[in-house]
Each structure stands twice: as structure tokens, then as C-alpha cells.
Structure 1
Amino acid sequence: MEISFQHTNPSASHDSTLLTITPRDGDPYRYLIDAGQSVSPNAFLGTDESLDGVLLTHAHSDHYASLGQILDTSADVPLYTAPGTATILEQVYAEAEQYQNLGNLEAITSALTGIETWTSLSDGIDVLPLPAGHTPGAAAFLFRIDDLEYNEETITVLATGDFTTRPVAGYPGLSIPDPIDIDILIANASTAESFQPTLSEALETILERTLSGATTVVAASALTGVHVAYLLGHMIDRLDRAHPIHLVGQAAKHYIALGYDVPSVTPHSHFDHTDEVLASGAITIAGPEAPSQGSIRRLFGVIEDDPGAVFVQLATSSPDIVERGVCATHYFEVPNHPTEEEFLAFVDEQLPRHLVFKHIQTDQAKSLASSLENLFHWENDDMNTHCLYDDGSWSAPRWLSDSGANLIRQRNYRESGMRIPLDKPIEKLPAVSWEKGTAELEDEGLAVDHLLGKFESAEPQHSPQQDVATSDGGQTSTVDAIQDQPDQQADAVKEETNEKVQPQIDREFQSTVNDRLEALESSVSDLVAESATADTVETRFDTIETRLDAIETTVERLPEQLARDDPSTVTGTVMRQNDLILLRVDPDAVEDLDHLLEHEAQVELSVQEPDTSANE
């Protein structure tokens, strides 16, 4: 038996691979792993050659861009993918097809075969999809290839696709079931050194602005939107807050199809008016990453000139960065890949005989491979066919000398020890579960302790005691609910409610403002202590402290001002002329109230019958 690989788009995204398995006495089996940009079977298949299957790791366009064209010209070729990706692939493709020509959607749907456990591809070739982290529904593919008859071996090939060892939105990260050893690792080696701190910073920004009452719009790709909604919903639940998260458009469709039910999150596949999904103190997540098309263009158009709104871009590709508009704008790059250290630790743990680098430039692959002296590594970018296993022996890259290849074989054998063949029937082989787990936000890379420390102590803007459920499941204030009661009860209930709620509002409002002022003053003090000693810098901080002192003094007097229950009264003479009623008052009588009477201010007048008994 011979096992070989071939790059199929090294000059594009370099993510797609042809795996060819040739039995000693039989025709080759050819499996294409991912169909990214610029993948054409004519470039790597001969006239009489065909594919036996396509395996799709996840529903990102750089991995499925050529899928429609390939399946349209390859009749009866099955398309294998994991359950989550199989569930959403049709709607992913239909949405993307609106903006680019991706080929025949019908060919994809008819070829689609969702698999979640060991599946036989052909005689002696089985495959198992493994949760791969990275994005909801992503999979790696573990092949078991039978060469027991001639060489008493079973060869394992792991094609990772994009992966993380961290879980994502409840799906597990990539992990290999015990006691399986990996012989050939075809690994997407894209790395991201700052994903975890940047993700936490992005969510901190979103939470901070939302908890302060801003209208917050988040632009993200659909699957990233699902991931972020998952994290925010569970984080808000940990904070014991009530801030709605509206998931809009394609992200909402994925959320529903994948069976999520996250606290505070409401999916909106469609909406008629932006008021349905935009509100102060709410988070709205839509796509794509830039407001050039789709739902996000419509939503950004509403908030663009609102100084109280926030627009946050969460980018995994390279969108146009939004810098226009009156609203606050923030940009974060959050491609979910392992760090270089995590990638090398995963390779070291598996210790394959061969490592084929994918989804990475050649110079970067060589840099990563410089520390790998105990295995064969392939960081080439050609489209030639390269043999990895040949009838019981492990073929070395042709650019290695025989002595160098033998040294690597010895190191690999010495460090890996005995490898156990997977010679059991597939129904008895170790498998994995595709059930989504509980929300372990820390494991997903979120700085939960930091976020809890920053936001947990701050009081909610609205006291829960002031909220009453409405018939449609919403919330309304107690005072608003009073207005809906019968007239004969309204006055009594309103008076009782004002007596109970008003002091509570005063105390909570003052407490909240005081807490935030203290936090600001503490931050200013720290900045003064840590900042440069330039006079201009310290002068600015002194100015800020002075203004904070003035605000705090005003807040301390607030309960006294709010506690005024008896309105000031003045008397005057009513003058009528047809339907016009004028009230003439002595200017001296309103002198004390003059500071309250602004132009076009709304005031409340109480009319009382004059007491004429004294004149009688």
C-alpha cells in the first residue's frame, strides 16, 4: 500500500489537500480535504482519474469556496462533514452566493453526508470526525487505513483543518481519543498569539458600554457572531444582569440551526424595523464584519450619527476598518487559532512520523519546523505528489540525505515507543461525543475573573423591584404599569408606589454614582502616580479631580433636592378671552422659582378653587 499527499492550492489559501491511498492490488482512492480558493481538479487529476470523496472541515469560505464547482463536475462524489457544519452548510452557501459566484448549490446539497462517528469510506479506509474548536461545528478528520494483510499495520492520518485545543461556544477543542497514535499529521498551522487577550478586551469594551446604557452594535461574521453571543450571554448571566442580546440575520439562523439556548440571547432571522433589535442597554450582533452589505449596513446606518451609540468590529479576515461617523467605534482582530506554543505542544504530544504544514506561508512553516528534529516535516509549496508511506516503510522527503532520514526515524521510534494498531472493527474503536458542553468561559480563553472583578460590584442601572412583566414577555416600570390600572385605583397605587420607590431610587442612584466616581478618582490617582512628571500632564489630572469633586458635591445634595414633595405654589389672576386662558402672576412671587423655569420646560400646574369665605 502507498499513501501520498498533494497540495491543491498552495498559491491561494494553501488549505486544501488531496490524500491518495493506493492498495497493493487495486485502484487508488482519492479524497480531497477542504475545497478552498482556486481548487480545480483539472490541476491535480489525470484524464481518467476522479475523486472518491470530499471532506469539509468547517463552513468558512476559504475552505469551501470551490466546493460548488467541484461537485458540479464530479457526479456521485459524496461530501462528508460533521453534524454541525452539515446542518448549516446549505444556508451558509445560499447567503454567500448572493455576493459571489460559488457554483452549484444543488450539487452540494445532494452530495452532503453528515457523519459523527466512525464511517467506512471504502474497503479498508474509515474516518472519524473530531470536534476541532476554532468555530462552532468545525471538525478534524481521523483516517484509519488498513494494511494488516501485507504489513500488519494500520496507518492513522489526522487532517486538522483550522483548529484550537480550546473549546468554542460549547464545542470541545481538538483532542485525540486514547489510545490512538497519529502516524501522519496534516495540520493547519495558522497561529494567533493575541487571540485570548484581544477577545477579553473586546468583550470588556462591549460590556462596559452596554452596562452604561449605550446602544451597542457588534459586526462579526456569522459563526463568530454565534460564538460571541454565547460568551456574552453566559457572561451577563454570571454578572446577574438583564441586558438583551439580539442576534441578527445569518448568525441568528446558525444559532437556531445549531440548537443553542443561551441566557439573554434572542435570534432574529429577519426583522422589519431596526427598533426591534436596537435599544439602549442592549447588544445587537450582525454581519458581515464591515457595514458594506447585509443587516450590519442597515443597523450601522441607524447608529452612525448617534453619539450615544457604539460600533464594534470583530474581525477574523481583513475588512475595511470603520472610522467614520459620530458614534464610538472599536476594532478588534480575533482569528481563533492556537498560539505557536500551543501548536508545537499539540504536535509534540501526538509525535507523528510525518507533519505536513498547511494554511501557512513556507517561511513561517520552516520557522515552526526548526525545533522539530524527531519527525519528517513538509513545508513545501509545490503541487507535486509526495509519498509518505510505501508498503511498510516511511518515506522521507527527497531533499533529506539517507543518513539524515535514518537519524530522524531512530529519534521518532525511540521517543514514540510502541504504536498499537487500530485493528478492531470500527464499531469497537474509540469515538467522541458531538454534544455541546456546559459554559466553561475560562477554558474558551475569556478572562472571566477580570471581567467579574470589574463589573460584578457595579449596581444595575434599574432595580429589579421596579420591573413588572408585561403580557408580551417584556419589562415595564412600576409607574408605567400604574397608568394601565383602572382609574379608581390609579391614584392610590401611584401614591403608595411613589412613597416606596422614590427613596429607593434616590439611594441607589446616589450609591451607583458615588461608586463610579470613587472608581474614577482611584484610576486618576493611579494614573498620576504612574504617569510622567510633566507639568502639563499633572495639570490635566488636577483639573479632572476638581471636576469630580464638584460632581460628587452635587450628588451628595441630590437626595435633598429629590425629596421635595410639596411643590412651590404661587397665586395669580385668571384672564379669559374666548378659548384663550392666561394666568397673570406677580413677578416677585416666582423670583425664587426662576432657576427652574427654562424656555419650553414642561411644568405641572395644580388648579384650586379660590377660598371666598374670608371675603364674606
Structure 2
Amino acid sequence: MHVSYQNANPRRGNESTILRFTDGDAKAVLLVDSGDGVDLDSLLAADEYLNGVLLTHAHIDHYRTLGKNVRHNAPVYVSPATGTILEHSLSEARKDNDLGDVDAVLDSIEPIGEWTPVLEGLEIRPVPAGHTPGAAGFLVRFRETFGPKGDDVASIISDERYILVTGDFTTRPCAGFPPLPTSFPVDVDAVFLNASTNETTIEQRNEALQTILERAYGGSRVVVAASALTGVQYALLLAAIAAELDRSLSITVVGQTARVLDALDIERPEIESCAVFDRPSDVLEAETVTIAGPDSPTTGSAKRLLLAIHDRPADAFVQLATDDSEPISNANCSTYAFRSDNHPSRDELDEVVRAIAPKHLVVKHASGYRLDTFQRRYDRCFTWAPDDGVSRVLYEDGEWSKPGWISESAARRIRHRQWKTNGDRPLATDDDSMSLLRQPVDPDAEGVDVDAFRSQFSGSVADPYDDQVALTDRDDAPPASETATVPETDRFEARVFGDGDGKTLLEVLESTDFSPGEIVEVSLSRPAEDGDSSENRDGLEQSE
């Protein structure tokens, strides 16, 4: 068997790869993901045919050119969950993106969950990858035969080799979908490792969830803008956290997030799904979290809902973006932005490499300086990290090939370290580690600091409209005798909100001439009892 690989888009993401397998006259070509800039017209030779696409997950940067590259009746292999997601999301995605022949992609999708033959002696199997609902890596198994040619079948020895393609992954579950395993029931010889990392994934997740809960439990209408898959993850995390806290929380998912949640057949009593709504008021309520897409509120449900709360200071807009976006700055509602791309840290990446201990490591989804750092990072395997589109041989004549730039003496040292490492490495005892089945959401397992949330939010639900949260009832309020007299001026009714962390917000219920950002002095009193003078009613006063 002869095995080679080629970066399919080294300058445009470098997440896509061509794998070629040749055994005598039999040839197979597999494409791993089809991101920006992948062009099979220029990558395949005249005598080559595409035998299959391994699509790791339903993020558009991994399938943007798929509609232009499906051909030769090649299946697009996906996990069952990703197949379901694509059936409901591809048609939506092509409204704003040039995705080529989407119908051809939908016709080619082949969900698989077990070992699936591509050609005789070449099989693939999906493995869980965390990262996003339905994400999967792929194990590729090929058989090498040794022995005499001809009819002497009894003396032929067959041996199996394994390549792991991780795709984007995490070592934690995502929305209950299992993480990438670090122990397999087989020896993995080579790993194609997507090296996208984020050192603040867990920190940002906890801060975003804390902000959402503070505002919702404080009585605000909270709009969360996120991609559909991120929206599903956060809806399930919020529901699971509320259950841990033994507090009620109303969550509404709308638009594409609702369609994906429904398609995956996921139900939680805290979550209401509403794919289509006539008026924003239909899905916006105080003390409710409404999750909409896309993550940038320039279109779709997120834009409609932002416009609905734009001028309401007591409401909150939370943006879960895949980059370091700044919060929306031209809105009068409270705005927040958190990064939510869900990639592992460098330490987690190192742990995956250490635990699997492959002979060869091919670094993907990185470029330039980051590729160079990974080239020098691991000394117990042969690390391939070129940033070009040259085809390179990984395996031939029954042996794994060393990179051409590594000397024979260095290669001997690496092989000796591999021998010492693999001697004590345990293997998984069964295939359970490769199960794709979704489990109940465990916030702790997904990186949520449940103890901190329990400390902050446990207890009965506070009514944000209760007059007991008025400023005059605060423990640090000065005695009445020390309070300055406010001149008799304009009086306005106001509604009191809290953010769950000691901050009190007021929403004026009448039209005023206040300017956004203006600082005013206020005096607060409770509503008058029946029969009291109207001059003593609850009000907010502007001091001139």
C-alpha cells in the first residue's frame, strides 16, 4: 500500500486534505473537509477519481466549497447528527453564501456510524470530536499484506494500519455530544491534528453564561445572538445549569437554532422552540432568554430582536461570536460580546498527542509561524507541518516514511522515544470510546463552574418588580435625615430591575427629554396606597 497526503487549501484555512491510497492497480482518493479555496479540478490528476468526502462537522468554513467539488458519485460521509443538521441548514446557508450545487451535496450525504468500506482493504469510521453538536473525526483503516504473490494464500500475512483525522475537536463534550477520545482500542499510527486553539474557551463560556443568568434572573429580556450550533449548546447548558440551581428559567430558541434543535430531536422542559415568529414581542419576555441567529446581528432573527430591545436600557443583548468581536456600541440596551469558537487549549492539544502517541503527526488548520512552532513542539513522533500544497508520501513498501528534512540519526532518536512511550501505553478495551451517541448534558464536563454558579444564584427567584428591591431598602442607604432634599420637579413612573449581582436598573415608563448617557439625580418612593394623595405616588424625579 502506498499512502500520501496533500494540503488542499494551505493558504485559505488549511483544514482540508487529500488522502491518496494506492494498492497495485487499485486507487482511492478521499477529501477531508472542503473549505475555502479547495478546487478539485486543479488538485486531481486526469486519471484520479474522488471516492469520498469526510466532512467533519457542519461549520461553513469546512464545507464552503463542497458544492463545487462533489463529483464521480462520491459519498459525503458524515456522522448521523451532522447529516441531520445539514439537511436543515444548507438551504439556509446558501441564501447568503455561494455554496455551489447544494442539491448535489444533499443527494451525496451518507451518514455512517460504524466501519464503512471505501474500497477493498480501505475502511473509514467516524469518532466523536466534541467541538460542536454532531462533530466527528474519522479513523481510516487500511490493510497491508505481506508474503509471496500467486496462489500461496496460506503464507500471506495481513496487517492493519490506522490514521486518525481529528477535524476541529475538543476534549470536553459539547451539548452532550462526546469529546474526541484519547484512548482507542487500536494503535493509531498517524494523526492529522487540527491545531486551532483558544486559551480562553472555558473562561469566556463561564463569563457569558454568568452574564446571561444575571440579566435574566434580574428581570431583563435577554437576547443571545449566536450561530445555530452554538445556540443549541448554550440553550442546553443554560437549562442544565438552571436544573442544578433548582431555579426556573425560561429559554426560547428561534429561527435556525430552533430548526436544528428540533431536527436533532432534543427536548428540555425549560426550552421552547419557535422557528418562525410574527412579532418580536411573541418571543421576548422579562426573565426570559431568547436565542437567535446569526451571531452578527446584521440580518435574520438576531437583527429583528436587537431592534426590538435597542432602546430599552433594562434589556440585554449578548453576542456569542467566533472571533474577538466588540460589543454592539450604538444601542441603548446593555450589550456584551464573548468569543465562543470552542477550541482546545495548547495544553489540551499536547495531552491528545501524548495520550494517542502516534508515529506521525500532520498539523492542520494552522499556518505560518504557528506551523513552525508545532514542527518543534513534539519530539516523540515525526511531525509534518509544511505550509504548501505539495503531495507527500506517508507510507510505502510496508513502512511509514520519515519527513525528508529529518536526518537518519534524528529519526533513530525519535523511533527510540516512540518505542519507550508506546511500551507502557494502555489501549481502550472496547469500542465504547468511539460511540457517537449523545448523553445528557453535564455542565461540569463542559467546563462550567457549577459551584460558583450555585454560590451566586442559588435561592428563590427574586421578583424584579417587587418594591423590596427599591434603592431605599438597600442596607447601605443613608438615614432619611441625612438624605438631601430633592427640588420639586418633573416626576415619572419607573420600573425597577436587578442584574442578580447587586446592581439596580430603572426603566422610565414615560416619554422624557433625557439624553442617552446623561447623569441625573433621582429620588425614589413606593407606589401610593389607595386613597393617598397622587402627589405622593411612585416616581423618578429629575433635579435641575
TM superposition score category, shorter chain reference: 0.7 to 0.9
How much does 1:516 deviate?
Answer: 9.5
* 1:282–1:361 Cα change, 3 Å: same
1:515 Cα deviation after fit: 13
Match for residue 350 of structure 2? 344
The match for 1:248 among 247, 254, 267 is 254
CA contact (8 A) 1:180 1:420 kept: no
Q: What are the equivalent positions in structure 2 for 1:38-57 lying under 5 Å apart?
A: 38-57=37-56
If the length of structure 2 is used for normalisation, what is the TM-score? 0.84
Q: CA separation in 1, counterparts of 2:336 and 2:441?
A: 26
* Partner Cα distance (1:153, 1:64) in 2: 34
Match of 1:263 among 262, 265, 269: 269
Q: Where does residue 450 of structure 1 map in the other structure?
A: 452
The answer to whether the Cα contact below 8 Å between 2:181 and 2:433 also exists between their aligned partners in 1 is: no
TM-superposed CA distance for 1:518, in Å, is 5.5
Give yes or no for the alignment of 1:593 onto 2:533.
yes
State whether residues 183 and 427 of structure 2, in contact with CA within 8 Å, keep that contact through their aligned partners in structure 1: no
Task: Name the structure 2 match of 1:524.
Answer: none
What is the rounded CA distance, in whole Å, between the counterparts of 2:476 and 2:43 in structure 1?
63
Correspondence 1:226 to 2:232: yes
Q: What CA distance in whole angstroms lies between the structure 2 residues aligned with 1:461 and 1:11?
A: 54
| Aligned equivalent of 2:7 | 7
Asked whether 1:121 is paired with 2:118, we answer: yes
Secondary structure, counterpart of 1:383 in structure 2: coil
Structure 2 SS opposite 1:28:
strand
Query: What letter matches 1:439 in structure 2?
Result: V
How many pairs align? 487
Q: Hey, what's the Cα distance between the residues in 1 that align with 2:383 and 2:437? A: 34
CA contact (8 A) 1:118 1:431 kept: no
Normalised by the size of structure 1, how large is the TM-score?
A: 0.74
Alignment of 1:324-335 (within 5 A): 324-335=330-341
In structure 2, C-alpha distance between the alignment counterparts of 1:187 and 1:208, rounded to whole Å: 38
Cα distance, 1:128 vs structure 2 = 1.3
State the percentage of identical aligned residues: 37
2:361 counterpart (344, 355, 359): 355
Amino acid at match of 2:14: H
Q: Taking structure 1 as reference, are residues 213 and 21 closer, same or farther at Cα in structure 2, changes over 3 Å only?
A: same
1:222 Cα offset (Å): 0.8
The answer on 1:109 being equivalent to 2:106 is yes
Q: How far apart, in 1, do the equivalents of 2:126 and 2:474 lie?
A: 53
CA contact (8 A) 2:183 2:355 kept: no
2:437 aligns with 435
Q: CA deviation at 1:435?
A: 2.2
Flag the 1:397–1:210 CA change in 2: closer, same or farther, 3 A.
same
Q: Spell out the pairing of 1:103-502 with structure 2 (5 A cutoff).
A: 103-150=100-147, 152-176=158-182, 178-317=184-323, 321-417=327-423, 432-457=434-459, 459-461=461-463
Are residues 457 and 98 of structure 1, via their aligned partners in 2, closer, same or farther at CA, if it must alter by over 3 Å?
same
Take 1:516 and 1:194, find their aligned partners in 2: how far apart are those partners? 39
Q: What do residues 271-315 of structure 1 show as CA deviations (whole Å, max 9, x unaligned)?
A: 111111111111111111111111111111111111111111101
Matched residue, 2:499: none
Q: What residue identity is the alignment partner of 1:5? A: Y
- Alignment partners' CA distance in 1, 2:246 and 2:66: 45
Aligned AA (1:378): W
Deviations 1:357-382 (A, max 9, x none): 01112321332343311110011111
Highest RCO, 1 vs 2 (Cα 8 Å, sep ≥ 6): 2
Determine the C-alpha separation between the residues in 2 that align with 1:453 and 1:515. Answer: 26
Q: Secondary structure of 2:67's partner?
A: helix
Q: Secondary structure of 2:290's match?
A: strand
Q: 1:594 to 1:347 in 2, by over 3 A?
A: closer
- Higher mean alpha-carbon deviation, 130-139 vs 301-310, is at 301-310
Q: 1:429 to 1:311 in 2, by over 3 A?
A: closer
Kept after mapping to 2: 8 A contact 1:164/1:174: yes
Checking the alignment, whether the CA contact within 8 Å between 2:125 and 2:140 is kept in structure 1 is yes
CA distance in 2 between partners of 1:141 and 1:194 (Å) = 27
Structure 1 window deviating more from structure 2 (219-228 vs 396-405): it is 396-405
Cα distance between partner residues in 1 of 2:435 and 2:101 = 32
For the residue of structure 2 that corresponds to 1:207, the secondary structure is helix
User: What is the DSSP-based 3-state SS (H/G/I as helix, E as strand, rest coil) of the residue aligned with 2:26?
Assistant: coil
Deviations 1:201-232 (A, max 9, x none): 01100100111111111111110000010111
Name which of structure 1's ranges 404-413 and 161-170 shifts more when overlaid on structure 2. 404-413
Matched, 1:64 2:63: yes
Distance 1:273 1:183 in 2: 56
**Any conservation in 1 of the 2:141–2:160 contact (CA below 8 Å)?**
yes
SS in 1 for 2:260: helix
Extract unaligned runs of 5+ from structure 1. Answer: 423-427, 463-504, 522-544, 548-553, 569-591, 600-616
Structure 1: how far apart are the matches of 2:50 and 2:534?
86
CA shift in 2, pair 1:389/1:313, >3 Å = same
Q: Residues 175 and 429 from structure 1, CA distance in 2 versus in 1: closer, same or farther, beyond 3 angstroms? A: closer
Structure holding more helix per residue: 1
Deviations 1:536-556 (A, max 9, x none): xxxxxxxxx9x9xxxxxx99x
When residues 160 and 386 of structure 1 are mapped into structure 2, their CA distance, relative to the original with a 3 A threshold, is same
Task: Tell me, in whole angstroms, the C-alpha distance in 2 between the residues paired with 1:76 and 1:270.
Answer: 36
Aligned partner letter, 1:41: L
For 2:43 and 2:471, the matched residues in 1 are separated by: 69
| In 2, Cα distance between equivalents of 1:520 and 1:249 | 45
Contact 1:290 1:319 in 2 (8 A): no
Larger Rg: 1
Alignment of 1:67-82 (within 5 A): 67-71=66-70, 74-82=71-79
TM-aligned CA distance change 1:430 to 1:234, over 3 Å: closer
Deviation, 1:177, is 5.4
Q: Please state how far the C-alpha of 1:152 moved relative to its aligned partner.
A: 4.3
Alignment of 1:77-88 (within 5 A): 77-88=74-85
Note the C-alpha offset of 1:33: 0.6
CA RMSD of aligned residues (A): 2.9
C-alpha distance 137-594 of structure 1, shift in aligned 2 (>3 A) = closer
Task: String of CA shifts for 1:317-362, please: whole Å, max 9, x gaps.
Answer: 4667411111111011121011100000110001101100011123
Which residue of 2 is the match for residue 98 of structure 1?
Answer: 95
